Amino acid sequence: MSGANALAILPLLIVAGAAVVAMVAIAIHRSHIVTAGIALAGCAVAFGCIWIAAKQAPRQVASLLVIDAYALFYFGLILAAGIAFVVLAYDYLRTCESGRDEMYILMLVATLGAMVLAAGNHWVSLFLGLELLSVSLYGMIAYLHTRPLPIEAGIKYLVLASVSVAFLLFGIALLYTALGTMDLPRTAALLNSGAPYDRALVVPGLALVITGLGFKLGVAPFHLWTPDIYQGAPAPVAGYIATVSKGAIFAVLLRYFYATGAHGFTPIFVVFFIISLSSMIAGNVLALLQRNVKRMLAYSSIAHLGYMLVAFLAGGALGPAAVTFYLAAYFVTMLGALGVISALSTRGQELEILDDYRGLFWRRPAIAAVFTAMLFSLAGIPLTAGFIGKFYLIAAGASGALWTLVIALVVMSGIGLFYYLRVVIAMFSGANMSRASEPRIQIAPGAVLAVLMVLLFWLGVLPQALLRLVRAAVAGLV
């Protein structure tokens, strides 16, 4: 490997190195703060090295990875979410009864897998990145093994993730049989050149790949695992799954399906159309029925992924930019919402039920304000990042004349407003005024939530800087 290639993948190398250093540190002496510090430093240094890697971009590293503006942008999102996770998880795990240190190793390996997915340029790198991410998530979800719900959630995710990988591998095998290559640029060249290929294998292969990725995204009709995982997983892990895991898979969708033009194949377009529409409807309708806040956020995440598929299908110059901006806003919002639940968690218990939040504003006004802002952003209220994100999604859908999906997006967003406001109203009601069941919010998670809230309104009022980064990142996709 040349020096230039090493510099290009330096963020990946640092995250991998941090995982090894954390493992050795645990073997020598267990210290929660030391292990968390190694993970935090690894993510922070890797984030800083993105600017070093950018000087080498765009660059193909072997045949598996491509380091370009698109990959580096997602590196930044993933690593920033990793930093927020470490801070929130440290405070959350500090009160837990079981070992804490291995959680950070799992997070670093999962982060490495997500970054490989964002930079993947080969079907093999897609599989490797997906397995690094998924296998780590099994352990993260079931980490609190002395409690029944995390174990149940971990087993469910293990079974369904294994099935989804089988679909994915079968789809890749069909594509390789039809095209004779696993390299993404060569696959794109063959599909776009007009050269003859076996369409009877390519279209089913792509459909199976969509099925595998659909399970990972948790979109309808592959969504049944999502609420159980969100409810069973520790709150910081649920936030990590909602952002890093799903963001990395969406990065794969954009790169692989735009490069090959496969999203424009009529059968594939119809499949994505159905997934988008059913996700918006199922996510919002099922969220209306929930009294568990984590399950409500899980179902709402299904709806938000359906919203993003509208812009994904629209394509053109606006589609990938709208999706990527919305993903950035979604990272901020979901980390903030689930971060509030994490910060309010007590030993052995999370605030999950709607009644737990009654009167929260009168007991913890600052944390209630943060949660209200996050819920408003998810609902698409003006002055928040979610409003700007939905505006661009609707604009992208309109530019592609996807009027059915655009109308569904608007109507379902209106329905979503109801269940978000239900939580807000509960927080401002006068019942359950006792502070006894809630911990004092620590400085570090409070600072993370404050930063996320500032970002939420900054992106909602002054989104131009991020939009410039997004347009530069996706310029090579279209």
- Residue 432 banded pLDDT, cuts 50, 70, 90: low
pLDDT of residue 478: 64
What's the burial of 31, exposed, middle or buried (CB within 10 Å: 0-12/13-18/19+)?
middle
- Specify which residues 349 forms β-bridges with: 346
Quote the mean pLDDT of the chain: 90
pLDDT at 279 over 80: yes
Q: Which residues contact 169 (CB under 8 A, 6 or more apart)?
A: 127, 212
How many Å apart are CA 326 and CA 253, to the nearest integer? 15
Number of structural domains in the chain: 1
Residues 339/341/343/344 CA torsion (nearest 10 deg): 170
Percent of the chain with pLDDT over 70: 96
Q: CA 211, 212, 214, 215 torsion: positive or negative? A: positive
pLDDT at 384 over 80: yes
The predicted model gives 339-362 an average pLDDT of: 84
Residue 65 identity = L
How many Å apart are CA 409 and CA 313, to the nearest integer? 13
State the residue range of the domain holding 348. 276-478
Query: Residue 18: inside a domain, yes or no?
Result: no
Query: Residue 441 has what DSSP assignment?
Result: P
pLDDT at 314 over 80: yes
Query: Residue 389: inside a domain, yes or no?
Result: yes
Q: CB of 108 within 8 A of CB of 60?
A: no
Q: CB of 282 within 8 A of CB of 213?
A: no
Q: What are phi and psi of 227, to 5 degrees?
A: -65, -35
- Specify which residues 353 forms β-bridges with: 292
Work out the number of other CB atoms within 10 angstroms of the CB of residue 309. Answer: 28
Query: Residue 75: inside a domain, yes or no?
Result: no
pLDDT of residue 436: 47
pLDDT at 104 over 90: yes
Residue 354 identity = L
Q: Which residues contact 356 (CB under 8 A, 6 or more apart)?
A: 293, 432, 437
Query: Residue 251: inside a domain, yes or no?
Result: no
As a 3-state breakdown, the chain gives helix, strand, coil percent values, each rounded to 5, of 75, 5, 20
**Of 170, 77, 74, whose CA–CA distance to 116 is shortest?**
74
pLDDT at 6 over 80: yes
pLDDT of residue 456: 96
Helix 403-428 and helix 266-288, axial crossing angle in degrees, nearest 10: 20
Q: CB of 299 within 8 A of CB of 288?
A: no
Q: Which residues contact 413 (CB under 8 A, 6 or more apart)?
A: 307, 379, 380, 390
Query: Residue 260: inside a domain, yes or no?
Result: no
pLDDT of residue 336: 95
How many Å apart are CA 320 and CA 307, to the nearest integer? 13
Percent of the chain with pLDDT over 90: 70
pLDDT at 434 over 60: no
- Residue 431 banded pLDDT, cuts 50, 70, 90: low
The predicted model gives 295-308 an average pLDDT of: 95
Between 97 and 424, name the one with better pLDDT: 424
**Of 286, 255, 319, whose CA–CA distance to 120 is shortest?**
255
Query: Residue 120: inside a domain, yes or no?
Result: no
What letters, b where the CB count within 10 A reaches 16 and e where it falls short, cover 314-328? bbeebbbbbbbbbbb
Tens of pLDDT along 17-44?
A: 999 999 999 999 988 999 999 999 999 9
How many Å apart are CA 415 and CA 286, to the nearest integer? 11
Q: Would you state the structure tokens that stand for residue 21, as one six-digit string?
A: 């250093």
Query: Residue 2: inside a domain, yes or no?
Result: no
| Pairing of the two strands 65-67 and 59-61 | antiparallel
Query: Residue 341: inside a domain, yes or no?
Result: yes
How many Å apart are CA 330 and CA 387, to the nearest integer? 11
Q: Would you state the structure tokens that stand for residue 107, as one six-digit string?
A: 């997070």
pLDDT at 440 over 80: no
The predicted model gives 149-177 an average pLDDT of: 92
Between 203 and 45, name the one with better pLDDT: 45
pLDDT of residue 34: 94
Q: What is the pTM of this model?
A: 0.94
In 351-462, alpha helices (H): 360-363, 365-379, 385-399, 403-428, 443-461
The least confident of 19-33, 224-238, 428-442, 443-457 is 428-442
The predicted model gives 379-402 an average pLDDT of: 94
Q: Would you state the structure tokens that stand for residue 160, as one six-digit string?
A: 């369904």
Work out the number of other CB atoms within 10 angstroms of the CB of residue 301. Answer: 29
Long-range contacts of 186-193 (CB under 8 A, 24+ apart): 187/123, 187/259, 187/260, 188/259, 188/260, 188/261, 191/260, 191/261, 191/262, 192/260, 192/261
pLDDT at 370 over 50: yes
**Of 127, 143, 66, whose CA–CA distance to 477 is shortest?**
66
